[in-house]
A and B are shown apart, each in its own frame.
Chain A
Amino acid sequence: MTVKQISIFLENKPGQLAKASRTLAENGVNIATLSLADTTDFGIVRMIVDDHEKGYEVLSKAGFTVRQTEVVMVKVADRPGGMAELMEKLDTAGVDIEYAYAYALGSGDTAILIFRFDDNAKAEAALAS
């Protein structure tokens, strides 16, 4: 399934991520998972929150540069080979992964991954097959 992800453009200055997290906290927005991608000059925080509309709004108001992107949430069997099978399906369909990160969730026999594909619809179709 596709979900909305919020990305924030951050300068590599101390306190930036703290400020963003505090803004969400003060507005009662809960972060389900996040990934931090960075270069030497700037970072991009990508996160899945419980209320992405509100999260987007409060961060924009606080002066952050924010984007909403559709990403794909995929369940993977939590056993050796689970990931390989998934990747093979995508490979066969000719889908490129732009980035991926794991969703933190309680224990169980499945893991959840967040993907951004070059073509989300095509990837979803491949995964459903």
Chain B
Amino acid sequence: MNVVELRKMQLEKLQELIPYEYERVPLFRRRCDEKGVKPRDLVTLKDLGKFPFMIKTDLRDEYPYGLTAAPMKDIVRFHCSSGTTGKPICIPSTKNDVDIWSEGTARCLAMYGITKDDVLQVSYGYGLFTGGLGAHYGGEMLGCAVLPTGAGNTEKQIMLMKDLGVTAIACTPSYFLHLADVAEKMGVDFRRDTKLKHGIFGAEPWTEEIRRRIETMSGITAHDIYGLTEIAGPGVAGNCPYCNGLHIWEDHFYPEIIDPDTLEVLPDGEQGELVFTTLDRRGTPMVRYRTRDISRLQTEPCQCGRTMRIMDRIHARTDDMLIIHGVNVFPSQIETGLMKVPEVAPHYQIYLESTDTLDHFEIRVEVVSEAFSDNIRHLEELRKRVLVAVKTIIGLTPKITLVAPGTLPRSEGKIKRVIDNRRK
């Protein structure tokens, strides 16, 4: 589809969505009225900028059905995201909503080079979390043979992977690292003993350095998939073999980049907060949902020929930002630094604690088994190199603690790498 047609289609979809939302969702109507903006004011795509945003707390405040726009007879599925800090968020979806999301995931898989000949192991958690069912439905839509292992029971997963000739796996990058550890202990070599070629990784931020580690260690191609429960689930965007970023399926999910402070829309090419509008969703439509993910819409056309815009990989979530000793630090920056040191394993934790003076800032990191020396001087020297690698990026001097391989906690879902025990 050429860009002109695409923009026309997006505008037409928006001109249907905005009145639909205005009629059915009281919160949206109230906010539009407060701003003095009416659905008919949407004449060009640019006019979308006049409409109010939605944020995560709206989803909590309006729990369970405040943002639901379709009648229950049309709802076929619920997904909820964990409410660790209070009420959960709940997304009721219609059949068509589920289909569009599955199509997004299927398009991603096809873009990665996966076909109906592939055996896809889904090791994301199934249930309220969107990862498992999202990858599952996408895989089935494409015609893959789907193996719904879910997360956990890792040794059995590896056995099935070997025995059934699994060629692609969908899970969080941290779970794959755990799986690789367990496989090594079982004497299973991915290259020699399995047919695994593709990894479809998402649901947590991960860096280019971790991607390279995974590829070198296992011989697979690591693909990035992006999504969020509020908008659909994994399958909103994915990387093609050419692009340094992720193509957004913007015929369904309309992206904007805003300045998170002024809330002004930024032109393509500038970095800011990613905002999505669900063009086709009718169960729980989202108009200008602020994702809190920091990204950029690239301006250069992609070699692959797709006209759907490319967003930068998510390196940072505004939610994840830590303020340490007055400096803004993203965990992904720390990860980038750590992974520059080959003796460091891709397992680390960031600890923060209040003290009477400056907050205690510590990074505990596993060293690979081969790097262990019986000479303290060598380990001290390694620690110094790790410190320099991190310090160069974040400009702070954390306490670096080297720990033995396999001692930090592993995760079967989204990993918790930051332990922040500071007094708020």
Q: Given that A41-B401, A65-B369 are contacting pairs, would A11 and B375 also be in contact in the complex, using a CB cutoff of 8 Å?
A: no
Assess whether B406 is interfacial by the CB under 8 Å rule. yes
| A-B interface contact total, Cβ < 8 Å | 37
B148 within 8 A of A: no
Taking a contact as CB atoms under 8 Å apart, the answer to whether A39 and B376 are in contact is yes
Is B374 within 8 A of A69, CB to CB? Answer: yes
Q: Which chain A residues (67-92) contact chain B, with CB distance < 8 Å?
A: 67, 69
Is the beta-carbon distance between A42 and B406 smaller than 8 angstroms? Answer: no
Interface membership of B380, Cβ < 8 A: yes
B407 at the interface (CB under 8 A from A): yes
The CA of A12 and the CA of B369, in the complex, are separated in Å by 18
Secondary structure type dominating chain A contacts: strand
Say how far A12's CB is from chain B's closest CB, in angstroms.
Answer: 9
In the assembled complex, the CB of B213 is this many whole angstroms from the nearest CB of chain A, namely 19
State which residues 28-76 of A face B: CB under 8 Å. 37, 39, 41-42, 44, 46, 63-65, 67, 69
Flag if B376 contacts A64 (CB, 8 Å): no
Which of these, A37, A39, A64, A69, contacts B404 with CB under 8 Å? A64
Q: When the two chains form their complex, are residues B404 and A67 in contact, meaning their CB atoms are under 8 A apart? A: no
89-129 of chain A: CB within 8 A of chain B: 98-99, 116
Q: Which B residues are in CB contact (< 8 Å) with A44?
A: 374, 376, 379
Closest partner residue, chain A, to B373 (CB atom): A67
Q: Are A42 and B402 in contact (CB under 8 A)?
A: yes
Is B402's CB under 8 angstroms from A63's CB? no
Name A67's contact: one of B374, B376, B401, B407 (CB within 8 Å).
Answer: B374
- With A7-B374, A99-B375 known as contacts, the answer to whether A41 contacts B402 (CB < 8 A) is yes
How many residues on chain A are close to B (CB under 8 Å)?
19
| A120–chain B nearest beta-carbon distance, Å | 13
The yes or no answer to B405 lying at the interface (CB within 8 A) is yes
B222 to chain A, nearest CB (A): 27
Complex Cα distance, B372 from A69, in Å, reads 12
A98 pairs with B375, CB closer than 8 A:
yes
Question: Residue of A at shortest CB range from B400?
Answer: A41
Known: A42-B402, A65-B369. A37 touches B407 (CB 8 A): no
Q: List chain A residues, Cβ under 8 A from B369.
A: 65
Contact between A65 and B402, CB atoms less than 8 A apart: no
Task: Give Cα distance in the complex from A39 to B384, angstroms.
Answer: 14
User: A64–B405 Cα gap in the complex (Å)?
Assistant: 8
Closest to A5 in B: B374
A39 and B380 in contact (CB under 8 A), knowing A11-B404, A65-B404? yes
State whether the Cβ of B111 lies closer than 8 Å to any Cβ in chain A: no
Min CB distance B348 to A, Å, is 14
B403 within 8 A of A: yes
Q: Known contacts A42-B379, A98-B375; is A9 also within 8 Å of B401 by CB?
A: no
Expressed in whole angstroms, the minimum distance between the Cβ of B421 and any Cβ of chain A is: 18
Minimum CB–CB distance from A1 to chain B (whole Å) comes to 19
Do A65 and B372 touch across chains, with their CB atoms under 8 A apart? yes
With a cutoff of 8 Å between Cβ atoms, the chain A residues found around residue B402 in the complex are 41-42
Q: How far is the CA of A7 from the CA of B402 in the complex (A)?
A: 16
Apart from the given pairs A11-B407, A67-B374, 17 other A-B contacts in the complex at a CB distance below 8 Å: A5-B374, A9-B404, A10-B404, A37-B376, A39-B376, A39-B380, A42-B379, A42-B404, A44-B376, A64-B404, A65-B405, A67-B372, A69-B374, A98-B375, A99-B375, A116-B374, A116-B375
| Cβ contacts A to B, 12 pairs, < 8 Å | A7-B374, A11-B403, A37-B376, A39-B380, A41-B401, A42-B379, A42-B401, A42-B402, A65-B369, A65-B405, A67-B372, A116-B375
